[in-house]
Amino acid sequence: MNLSPLDEYPIHQTPAPLTWPATSDRNFYDRSYFNVLDRDGRFMALTGIGYYPRLGVKDAYFVVRRGDTQTAVHLSDAIDDDRLHQNVNGYRLDVVEPLQELHLTLAETEGISADLTWRGLFPATLEQPHDMLTERRVTLQACRFAQVGTWQGWIDVDGERLTVDHDTSVASRDRSWGIRPVGEPEPAGRPDAAFRGMWWLYLPLAFDDFQLFLILQEDPDGHRSLYDCTRRWRDGRVEQLDGVRATIHYAPGTRIPRGAHISFMNRAGDRIELDIESKLFAPIAFGSGYGGDSSWAHGTWKEGPFAERVSFDLTDPAVMARAPFSLIDHIGAAVCTEADGQVREGAGLFEHGVLGPHYPSGFSDWTDVAE
């Protein structure tokens, strides 16, 4: 066990140095996720940095979709003990003002670089705990906070400069830590119950006077194993929304949505309608290291400092055949209609995925697609 600069501060939660997790589970992780969403749908980026103390690894990724190409760089290295200066090779994340302003830079790596400053539009919000279990172990046990905001700066891909500013961008981010599958595959042991599938919808959206967060996770039969829907007003009010009904509009022959209609009620019983339109999408399993990504997995040991670039042609049927096995992030244009007829326009992340069967959606197996 090593000391770190954080051990100077009275913030310990266990009788061990700060860099030593309370659990010995190899799958403990601590990481950030960000997206950069151009409101007009010209491009989008997904990026993040993670630390995996029990695996001895830290890594980062930067994914850009523009046109029909999705390009990613992966960076990895041995973990260090200084969490105050988050970096992986040329990737760096600096906290300028906690929970409000961050500075993210990527030195030129395999033709991609970036210099971006994050500004929160509303206060960061702690989400509901997220837990998933098998018969014999915890597979996911995470604490997460989220925030909607904007970026100022630029992204450069092979000399093409993509300008990002607070007026033309919208974004969401999350910080999460806990347990989830990371690193190389573990020995199987006695077979556990097979993963049956999951339907997922995540909407962190920004409007002029409120932010809206909706999280839904359903089993194949439609049972909701995770649900949270709140609207947080600029004046500080927090409004829980109930009675959520979601209709996803899939492109025929796919599981990729073109949009969605969400209906819910406030505590007074007034019905609120939300319509989402996808302006551009990026399957997160194409280069970001999340589940289903065949190119790379978070926490994988790469024998020291490492960087690589991968690209995906989203017009290639063989590539897109893997999209149903991924969550898909969209630039979402949103229209919220109140019961009194008032209409508000907003934007943000529209994240959806159907992994396996989902009988309420008409998907009876892993290969079904929308008609």
Contact 300, 57 (CB under 8 A): yes
* Predicted local distance difference test score (pLDDT) of residue 187: 80
**How far are the Cα atoms of 73, 87, 122 from residue 19, in angstroms, in the given order?**
27, 15, 30
Of 275, 140, 130, 257, the closest CA to residue 212 belongs to 275
Greatest alpha-carbon pair distance for the chain in Å reads: 60
pTM: predicted TM-score of the whole model, two decimal places:
0.94
Strands (E), 297-370: 306-313, 328-337, 343-355
* Predicted local distance difference test score (pLDDT) of residue 34: 98
* Predicted local distance difference test score (pLDDT) of residue 200: 97
* Predicted local distance difference test score (pLDDT) of residue 361: 95
* Predicted local distance difference test score (pLDDT) of residue 1: 77
Contact 47, 61 (CB under 8 A): yes
For the chain, residues with pLDDT lower than 50 are none
* Superfamily classification of domain 10-180+196-361: AttH-like domain (2.40.370.10)
Contact 349, 172 (CB under 8 A): yes
* Predicted local distance difference test score (pLDDT) of residue 108: 98
Distance CA 70, CA 44 (A): 9
Distance CA 252, CA 206 (A): 29
Q: What is the number of other CB atoms lying within 10 angstroms of the CB of residue 152?
A: 16
